[in-house]
């Protein structure tokens, strides 16, 4: 099949030009996946998801968060967490303008999962216009960063907010496939930086999300690797149990690592993802058959 790929920018908080990409199958689009990447990542890391969804007549949009990928800004720096949240709000509004009336799923991986969960809790009226929220290995639990680095970040946030440290996260914890890990090391758009201000904003937001979990009010899918050493799976399980909204599903993959979309079990992950999306499309859209099978 033909894949139509385009890139562009949109105005984020403070007028910053944020980079985004769009992959489109052509013809009638049945739904859209709006993709938010994790800390140090970028929108170009999700090839397996794109190649799985496009034959099913989904389009995929991905942005590069400020300080990431091909978007400007100090690597791993934000003034406040609301910058991430409001950038994603604007991103979604742009998609809705480009593709009016098209069903949208909001997808976040790792820190991106944390961003979309917090956005959904802050703006339930906007999330109600979407088909659901998908959080993959969301950073809402204990993270694999040393307590010393965390403490240093908190101490320096007021005095030197732009002070930057290597996160110290184990790059081999992303995937059990050594070929995938090799691509991480060679990728010039990836980074391993986090600033003191980011650290305090991250942990403040983490606490807020758990404190408000019972207010969740949208279809929710959480997917997490059981052997994730970057973001331990217990955090997403605790959040999931606190959510009282009935339309929720959490799947934990035994032995799987952090980047489920390119781990050894990625086909199982992709199948679960697209099956859930299919179940949450409007009835009239589900009747539209995909152009071709992806099997």
- Which residues 6+ apart lie within 8 Å of 171 measured at CB? 181, 184, 185, 192
Contact 247, 220 (CB under 8 A): yes
Contact 57, 33 (CB under 8 A): no
d(CA 165, CA 224): 27
Marked catalytic residue, from 110, 157, 164, 199: 110
Marked catalytic residue, from 258, 261, 263, 274: 258
Three-class SS of 31-69? EEEEEECCCCCCHHHCHHHHHHHHHHCEEEEEECCCCCC
For helices 111-122 and 196-211, give the axis angle rounded to 10 degrees: 50
Q: Is 263 in the active site?
A: no
d(CA 108, CA 32): 14
**Could you count the other beta carbons within 10 Å of the beta carbon of residue 283?**
6
Q: Is 228 in the active site?
A: yes
**Could you count the other beta carbons within 10 Å of the beta carbon of residue 1?**
12
Contact 210, 238 (CB under 8 A): yes
d(CA 72, CA 16): 7
- Identify the helix (H) or strand (E) that includes residue 106: strand 104-109
261-282 residues labelled b (16+ CB within 10 A) or e (exposed)? bbbebbeebbebbbebbeebbe
Radius of gyration of the chain (CA): 18
Q: Is 110 in the active site?
A: yes
Identify how many contiguous H helices and E strands the chain contains and give both numbers.
10, 10
Marked catalytic residue, from 64, 87, 228, 263: 228
What residues are annotated to the active site?
110, 228, 258
């Amino acid at each position: 099949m033909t894949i139509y790929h385009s890139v562009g920018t949109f105005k984020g908080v403070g007028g910053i030009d944020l980079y985004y990409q769009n992959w489109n199958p052509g013809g009638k689009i049945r739904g859209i996946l709006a993709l938010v990447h994790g800390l140090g990542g970028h929108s170009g890391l999700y090839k397996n998801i794109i190649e799985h969804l496009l034959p099913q007549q989904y389009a995929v949009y991905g942005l590069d968060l400020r300080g990431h990928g091909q978007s400007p800004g100090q690597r791993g720096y934000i003034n406040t967490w609301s910058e991430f949240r409001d950038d994603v709000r604007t991103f979604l509004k742009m998609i809705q303008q480009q593709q009016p009336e098209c069903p949208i799923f909001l997808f976040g991986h790792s820190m991106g999962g944390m961003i979309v969960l917090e956005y959904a809790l802050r703006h339930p009226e906007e999330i109600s216009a979407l088909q659901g929220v998908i959080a993959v290995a969301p950073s809402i639990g204990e993270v694999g960063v040393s307590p010393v680095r965390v403490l240093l970040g908190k101490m320096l946030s007021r005095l030197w907010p732009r002070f930057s440290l290597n996160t110290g996260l184990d790059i081999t914890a992303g995937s059990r496939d050594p070929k995938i890990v090799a691509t991480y090391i060679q990728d010039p758009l990836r980074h391993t930086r986090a600033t003191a201000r980011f650290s305090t904003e991250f942990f403040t937001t983490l606490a807020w999300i758990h404190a408000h979990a019972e207010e969740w009010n949208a279809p929710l899918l959480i997917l997490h690797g059981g052997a994730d050493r970057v973001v331990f799976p217990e955090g997403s399980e605790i959040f999931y149990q606190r959510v009282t909204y009935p339309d929720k599903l959490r799947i934990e993959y035994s032995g799987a690592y952090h980047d489920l979309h390119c781990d050894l079990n990625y086909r199982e992950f992709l199948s679960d993802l697209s099956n859930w999306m299919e179940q949450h499309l409007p009835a009239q859209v589900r009747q539209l058959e995909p152009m071709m099978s992806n099997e």
